[in-house]
Amino acid sequence: MIKFFKIIVLLEGISLLALLFFAMPMKYFFSQPIFVKYIGMAHGILFILYISLAILLKLEQKWDLKKFAIICLASLIPFGTFYIEKKYL
């Protein structure tokens, strides 16, 4: 399951960056909100999957609360998931 989580970590990080640095500028500078709709939906699904898998892995791998909190909070910060993938996985 850790391999699948690594894939989701990378995809979630890429989707957050695409949302922040592509879709949002397209919406506000070029009046093209359609990108936010689709990239935002993909990011939302990946975020839910990321948190769900983190909870399952916390129980399976017996992560302490600090490690689990850092892994969950990193999903909110741009480039945070890439740091998690290198440091904790």
Q: Which residues make Cβ contacts (< 8 Å) with residue 78, sequence separation at least 6?
A: 16, 17, 20
For 6-38, write each residue's pLDDT tens digit.
Answer: 999 999 999 999 999 999 999 999 999 999 999
For 53-68, write each residue's pLDDT tens digit.
Answer: 999 999 999 999 999 9
pTM above 0.85, yes or no: yes
pLDDT at position 27, please? 94
